[in-house]
């Protein structure tokens, strides 16, 4: 066993000791899909996510992120929960509750991943005298491309990363280093003729295999869009109030998914099927208290209540009208506008369907 192999194995063993489910290594070369990323930006499919444009040059060249980088170590952390087997895309769901994407039900994954990555950085810099720089979807790197090249999984037709051992429910982080390591072999694409993720997307955001228009994606609209949700998309959002799991849940590779061992991902009543009426009654202080450790805090109270109004417009009944009418008095114009739309949606539906 040569010294490089020994270093790689020591690094992977340490990563697993930190609790990561995966660890792979790739080079610091430019991602193979760099041209696709540039064209995607040029077509405006990133919507209002201007930070993607701002650091576009760095995203396609890791050496601009960490000069002298020779390797990129990619780690993965399972966030699956115990309702994996019960989820049925398009199936019956409890009324007047909201759906929050599985990844956002527990403590903010950035905090959990960062805690582990800081220990990882200290290990590599201390043991190998190398420079390191790590990110958890916050830095200018094309992390899914790098993860696929490091053998963590492959990018499916939904553009999401798929693991043959955990399916689609895992976070990824990357650590750039000046340490030269033997890279892992990338995994081959195993989607075959399957197109379930494309069929499952409620808004047609997966415009073709491996092609995503973020502007149509429910995750983008409920999280990244800070303004008015286009009326043409509102009725397609169903009861989703933060993100969307439909393309992930449709993937047949999730037969291998399992519940995470990380207790902080478990969530609570405010993240696992929360009552839409209770959410609509939240004041600013209540929102900050309930979601201070959650990814949901990103969209602020006005964003969450905007999404809640849309969900009530799609799934609510006459019984929800008093709460929505009260929301018309909310100090946030964004909330009032979507509450008015929701009231109209409920009032125009035949009573027999409510």
Give the catalytic positions in this structure: 137
Residues 6 or more apart whose Cβ sits within 8 Å of residue 265? 79, 81, 105, 106, 107, 109, 112
C-alpha pair distances (Å), 305 with each of 23, 184, 236, 242, 277: 38, 45, 17, 11, 10
Helix (H) or strand (E) holding 172: strand 170-177
| Cα distance between residue 173 and residue 341, in whole Å | 40
> For residue 74, what are its two tokens?
């990619």
Please state the separation of Cα 170 from the chain's center in Å. 9
Residue of 74, 60, 104, 101 whose CA lies nearest to 184: 74
| Cα distance between residue 218 and residue 119, in whole Å | 35
Helix (H) or strand (E) holding 134: strand 132-135
Residue of 112, 108, 104, 110 whose CA lies nearest to 274: 104
| Cα distance between residue 149 and residue 253, in whole Å | 19
| Cα distance between residue 37 and residue 48, in whole Å | 15
| Cα distance between residue 345 and residue 8, in whole Å | 58
20, 75 Cβ separation under 8 angstroms: yes
Residues 6 or more apart whose Cβ sits within 8 Å of residue 143? 74, 135, 137, 172, 173, 174
218, 203 Cβ separation under 8 angstroms: yes
Residue of 341, 339, 303 whose CA lies nearest to 324: 339
């Amino acid at each position: 066993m040569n010294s490089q192999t020994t270093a790689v194995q020591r690094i992977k063993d340490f990563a697993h000791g930190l609790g990561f489910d995966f660890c792979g290594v790739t080079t610091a070369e430019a991602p193979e899909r760099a041209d696709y990323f540039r064209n995607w930006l040029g077509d405006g499919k990133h919507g209002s996510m201007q930070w993607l444009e701002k650091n576009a040059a760095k995203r396609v060249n890791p050496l601009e992120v960490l000069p002298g980088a020779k390797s990129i170590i990619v780690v993965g952390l399972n966030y699956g929960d115990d309702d994996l087997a019960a989820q049925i895309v398009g199936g019956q769901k409890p009324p007047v509750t909201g759906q929050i994407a599985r990844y956002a039900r527990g403590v903010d994954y950035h905090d959990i991943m960062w805690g582990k990555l800081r220990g990882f950085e200290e290990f590599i810099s201390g043991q190998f005298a190398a420079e390191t720089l790590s990110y958890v979807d916050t830095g200018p790197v094309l992390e899914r491309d790098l993860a696929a090249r490091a053998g963590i999984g492959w990018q499916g037709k939904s553009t999401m990363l798929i693991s043959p051992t955990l399916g689609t429910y895992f976070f990824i982080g990357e650590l750039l280093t000046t340490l030269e390591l033997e890279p892992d072999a990338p995994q081959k694409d195993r989607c075959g003729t399957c197109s379930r993720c494309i069929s499952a997307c409620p808004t047609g955001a997966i415009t073709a295999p491996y092609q995503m228009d973020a502007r149509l994606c429910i995750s983008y609209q409920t999280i990244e869009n800070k303004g008015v949700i286009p009326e043409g998309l509102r009725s397609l959002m169903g009861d989703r109030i933060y993100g969307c799991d439909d393309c992930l849940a449709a993937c047949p590779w999730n037969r291998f998914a399992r519940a995470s061992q990380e207790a902080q991902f478990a969530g609570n009543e405010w993240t696992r099927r929360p009552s839409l009426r209770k959410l609509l009654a939240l004041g600013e202080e209540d929102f900050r208290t309930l979601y201070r450790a959650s990814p949901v805090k990103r969209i602020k109270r006005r964003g969450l209540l905007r999404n809640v109004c849309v969900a009530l417009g799609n799934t609510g009944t006459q019984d929800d009208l008093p709460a929505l009418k009260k929301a018309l008095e909310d100090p946030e114009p964004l909330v009032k506008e979507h509450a008015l739309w929701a009231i109209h949606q409920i009032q125009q539906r035949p009573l027999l369907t409510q």
